[in-house]
């Protein structure tokens, strides 16, 4: 696997942006859960191993949602058993309820995430519960995870818009995020599930969260590139102080329960921008691009990542 590239971005640091950025890799979970066919466990394991070798230190590995709902991740326990030792690497997993948490604990997970909604419509479509009922469902999950000494992330999906409800007021998102923090979440990630956010919207939502008492250090952002805004939205979040950004190697994934959602922000595209700004990620861009080319070959289609393609094509043998 290649570890160098023929070109890297020229670095022009900005005085208002400094330090390290946590690249929260979601490809193995959020990416592969959307595949029409089931990817073999050994391929998933190799995918995660290559991502870790490329320098990623947070890799969301899988989901302990019922295999009936997400058959692509039915091998969650088997996958966790096959992953390289954690050490300084975190392997968060999604857990929908106490039964999912029990399965995750049995599989050796130490970092988990719950997936809440900012809107009533998506809560009912995704969880078959009202928004309030879904938050009540997560409370004992977070409590039990924290009681076991686990790190817990809370996702807030549809934070910037909902295909059924339309506009989502920032105060409504802040309210859900506040409930997740009250329950004990260590970090909350606001998600642009259908990719409709713009930089001004990002700034307004983050300011609403800050006004409600949330610290930037405890926030993550998760952007989809449906309208080509993921990188500009990421820059707006960085300018507002956020330093944890979700992305998916090769741009894999979307949301299986939101028909208008397309691919995630590609990790390579994100890293190219961050490195150009002089922000540290710990990621080797060449190894990462080679990993996504390899996975594109495994999936039988080109990678949608522009950086992957610019650095050497969408797939490799």
Strand pairing of 244-247 and 58-59?
A: unpaired
Residue 260 clears pLDDT 70, i.e. is over it: no
Of the candidates 281, 286, 295, 282, the one whose C-alpha atom is nearest the C-alpha of residue 249 is 295
User: pLDDT tens digit string along 298-317?
Assistant: 999 888 899 999 998 555 43
User: pLDDT tens digit string along 52-90?
Assistant: 999 999 999 999 998 888 999 999 999 999 998 878 999
Is the Cβ–Cβ distance between 194 and 224 less than 8 Å? Answer: yes
163-173 residues labelled b (16+ CB within 10 A) or e (exposed): beeeebebebb
Q: Which domain holds residue 238?
A: 22-310
Looking at residue 6, its pLDDT comes to 58
The pTM of this model reads 0.94
Catalytic residue among 255, 265, 271, 279: 255
255 is catalytic: yes
Check residues 313 and 107 and name the one with the higher pLDDT: 107
Residue 286 lies in a domain: yes
Average pLDDT over residues 193-221: 97
**Tokens standing for residue 80:** 């966790």
Residue 284 lies in a domain: yes
- Total domain count for the chain? 1
Looking at residue 258, its pLDDT comes to 44
Residue 164 lies in a domain: yes
Check residues 221 and 316 and name the one with the higher pLDDT: 221
Residue 15 lies in a domain: no
Torsion sign across C-alpha atoms 207, 209, 213, 216: negative
Residue 245 clears pLDDT 50, i.e. is over it: yes
Question: What CATH number is associated with residue 120?
Answer: 3.20.20.70
Residue 73 lies in a domain: yes
Residue 268 lies in a domain: yes
């Amino acid at each position: 696997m290649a570890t160098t590239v023929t070109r890297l971005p020229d670095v022009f640091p900005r005085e208002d942006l400094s330090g390290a950025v946590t690249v929260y890799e979601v490809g193995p979970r959020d990416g592969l859960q959307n595949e029409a066919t089931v990817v073999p466990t050994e391929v998933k394991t190799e995918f995660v191993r290559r991502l870790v070798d490329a320098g990623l230190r947070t890799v969301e590995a899988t989901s302990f949602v019922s295999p009936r709902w997400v058959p692509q991740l039915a091998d969650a326990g088997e996958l966790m058993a096959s992953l390289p030792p954690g050490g300084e690497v975190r392997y968060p997993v999604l857990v929908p309820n106490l039964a999912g948490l029990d399965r995750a604990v049995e599989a050796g997970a130490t970092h988990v995430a719950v997936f809440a909604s900012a809107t009533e419509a998506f809560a009912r479509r995704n969880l078959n519960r009202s928004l309030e009922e879904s938050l009540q469902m997560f409370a004992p999950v977070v409590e039990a995870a924290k009681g076991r000494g686990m790190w817990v992330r809370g996702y807030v999906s549809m934070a910037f818009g909902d295909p059924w409800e339309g506009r989502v007021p920032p105060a409504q998102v802040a309210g859900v995020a506040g409930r997740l923090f009250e329950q004990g979440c260590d970090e909350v990630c606001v998600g642009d599930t259908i990719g409709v956010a713009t930089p001004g919207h990002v700034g307004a939502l983050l300011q609403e969260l800050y006004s409600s008492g949330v610290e930037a250090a405890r926030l993550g952002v998760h952007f989809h590139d449906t309208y080509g805004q993921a990188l500009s939205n990421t820059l707006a979040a960085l300018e507002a102080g956020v330093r944890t950004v979700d992305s998916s190697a090769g741009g894999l994934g979307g949301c299986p329960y939101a028909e208008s959602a397309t691919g995630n922000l590609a990790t390579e595209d994100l890293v190219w921008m961050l490195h150009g700004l002089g922000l540290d990620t710990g990621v080797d861009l060449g190894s990462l691009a080679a990993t996504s080319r390899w996975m594109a070959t495994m999936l039988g289609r080109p990678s949608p990542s522009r950086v992957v393609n610019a650095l050497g094509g969408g797939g490799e043998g």
